Amino acid sequence: MQVPLEITFRGFPHSDAVETKIREKVSKLEQFCDHIISCKVAVEAEHRHQHQGNLFHVRVDLAVPNKHIIVSRDHHDKQAHEDLYVALRDAFDATKRQLEEYVRINRGETKRNRASPAL
């Protein structure tokens, strides 16, 4: 990566364990695609006084040549995203899928429809 990884925590204190997990996830993305220019990850806790736990928002902003991949995982599934690690997993899974598509297109590979058998 040409630009160092940026990690931002909002609404809750910095966590070394969460930062380590994010760095592991970004490292896996770098192994898959060595053309990553920069990566910014923002983790935000939404404080909800009427509910028991916090809801987490994760945003991954990835720059690769000729493309900007932005994944924002909000609290669509409120139960799942009360767990920060589940929110991170979902956001990085979505980022990896978009990165896979980017790599596939750059290699000139296209999805091919199966030809129906001739009758």
105, with CB counted inside 10 A (0-12, 13-18, 19+), is exposed
State residue 77's pLDDT score.
52
1 in a domain, yes or no?
no
Residue 21 included in any domain: yes
Establish if 119 belongs to a structural domain. no
What's 87's domain CATH number?
A: 3.30.160.100
Q: Is residue 38 part of a domain?
A: yes
Say if 111 falls within a structural domain: no
The pLDDT value recorded for residue 108 is 81
Cβ count near 69 (within 10 Å):
20
Asked if residue 116 is part of any domain, the answer here is no
Query: Number of folded domains in the chain?
Result: 1
pTM to 2 decimals? Answer: 0.81
pLDDT in tens, 52-81: 677 888 999 999 999 999 998 665 555 556
Structural domain containing residue 16:
6-106
Answer for the pair 41, 5: CB distance below 8 angstroms, yes or no. yes
31 in any annotated domain: yes
> Does 112 map to a domain?
no
